Structure 1
Amino acid sequence: MKPAALILILLTFTACKSSAPSAPSNPASTTQRASLPIGSGFDYYLLNLSWSPEFCYSHRDAPECANHSTFVLHGLWPQNYDGTYPENCSAAPGPSDPSSYKDIYPDQGLLQHEWRTHGTCSGLSADAFLSTARAAYQSVVIPQKLQTLTQQTSMSPNQIMNLFMEDNPKIPRESLAVSCGNNYLTAVEICLDKNLKPVQCGPIRACRAVIIRIPPPR
């Protein structure tokens, strides 16, 4: 075979390989979760997703209320299966650039509070902890029925958990809890292991109301 013909064949083969479609990326993939830094000194995480409309009813000027969001990240909290939870574990420095976490914490005061109170008990640096909190928040699909709420409705805690399980098939009921105050929805909490996979919750406080009210975003 002539050298020119061989070069042409090799170029054609290389072009075919490079044009093959790449696998779609998934920010919540198992591989990426497994690469997260593993915390220490606690049993599991409690991911608290606050129902923003309820908070914003009495905090209209809060930075996070400008977006008229539904569920927002309150915090990722180290927990133990005996019902205890560590808090304020050290005076470790906060993140190198707090503004880089504005997507999850528009209120920098809340960011610093969450780091000091909960993050310092994770065994992680501030940046590693906040990146883990972001990954946890982004791994949960907010139910469409709650995202598109335009007027106040009422549901039972079980109905709210059912909505989350429908849109997040990998999250079982035993990993979920609903919080309420004065018969209004305040938060949905999800128990996650240190790789952010759903696990059974320990003894955490949950809403005992039969029916709770859910105001729409303001």
Structure 2
Amino acid sequence: MRLNYSILIKHLILQYLSVFCLSKDFDFFYFVLKWPGAYCDSKHSCCYPKTGKPATDFTIHGLWPEYKDGSYPSNCDPNSVFEKSQLSDLMTNLQKDWPSLSCPSSNGFRFWSHEWEKHGTCSESQIDQHDYFEAALNLKKKVNLLQILRVARIEPDDGFYSLDNIVRAIIKGIGHTPRIECNKDSHGNSQLYQIYFCMDSSGSEIIECLVPPKGRCDSKVQFPKF
């Protein structure tokens, strides 16, 4: 009898936590763009998607709900699974702008499923699955990051560039401060890897970050070829 009571209490706690996660609205999104040259030029293996090598451009990593205290929700609704049938009109752009570079080579469904189930389900109070992916694709069009850097003469040519100059160029082009994330190549060089932008909770407008952006980069970073 005591065992059954214990199980019931655990079940009620888990149910409460699930409802709490679904009901607690997030504060903003991180919209994260990834440089494929830095992903592939590292100790991690890299495989082009089944559609072929992506264009030489930043690609989407994700659209992630965040709280202003620095924490974030995840896996908020286990009953809301990725449905590729809902995204048929977006598929061409998903393959172009949101490809998977992980191995083995894939069609991207596993990557998108992971992003939706871990992050997207926590935005369902604001946008549904189709609108979630469409919002990220629209942001990618709005943030023409490679062109912004090229205007500042910052090119993916394996050269090393001042981190401050990269940030200033993006602020000039976007109007808001990004978060820069670097990774290391096989020689230990710090290289430009991911750029984070803060978005409002509708996923439509870039805002100044509620959580101060923090990066892990050297003062000079390499912008690798792709």
Asked if TM exceeds 0.5, the reply is: yes
Can you list the C-alpha shifts for 1:23-49, whole angstroms capped at 9, x where unaligned? xxxxxxxxxxxxxxxxx7100010100
CA distance in 2, matches of 1:65, 1:205: 34
Q: Is the 8 A contact 2:48 2:54 kept in 1?
A: no
Structure 1 residue 135: deviation in Å?
1.9
Large movers: runs of 4+ above 6 Å = none
In 2: Cα distance, 1:209 partner to 1:55 partner: 17
Percent of residue pairs identical: 24
**Aligned match for 2:163, one of 157, 163, 167:** 157
1:184 matched residue in structure 2:
191
- Which of 72, 75, 80 is the aligned partner of 1:85? 72
Report deviation, 1:146: 4.4
Match of 1:196 in 2: 205
| 1:110 pairs with 2:94 | no
Of 126, 130, 151 in structure 2, the residue corresponding to residue 127 of structure 1 is: 130
Is 85-94 or 56-65 further displaced after alignment? 56-65
Residue correspondence of structure 1 range 16-95 to structure 2 within 5 A: 41-57=25-41, 58-63=45-50, 66-91=53-78, 92-95=80-83
SS in 2 for 1:46: strand
Quick one: which amino acid aligns to residue 225 of structure 2?
P
The alpha-carbon distance between structure 1 residues 69 and 181, as it changes in their structure 2 partners (threshold 3 A), is: same
Provide the C-alpha distance between the structure 1 equivalents of 2:136 and 2:122, rounded to a whole number of angstroms.
Answer: 13
Structure 2: 5+ residue runs without aligned partners?
1-23, 100-107, 185-189
CA contact (8 A) 1:88 1:121 kept: yes
Q: Is the 8 A contact 1:153 1:213 kept in 2?
A: yes
How big is the shift at 1:94?
A: 2.1
- CA 1:160 to 1:65, structure 2 compared with 1: closer, same or farther past 3 Å? farther
| One-letter code aligned to 2:122 | C
| Residues 48 and 190, structure 1, Cα contact 8 Å, conserved in 2 | yes
Rounded to whole Å, the distance in 1 between the matches of 2:136 and 2:28 is 13
Partners of 2:75 and 2:119 within 8 A in 1:
yes
Contact 1:143 1:167 in 2 (8 A): no
- Structure 1 199/166 Cα, relative in aligned 2: closer, same or farther at 3 Å? closer
* Contact 1:78 1:86 (C-alpha < 8 Å) held by counterparts: yes
Return the letter of the residue paired with 1:89: C
Structure-1-length-normalised TM-score: 0.70
Q: What's the offset of the Cα at 1:201?
A: 3.8
**Does the Cα contact within 8 Å between 2:164 and 2:219 map onto a contact in 1?**
no
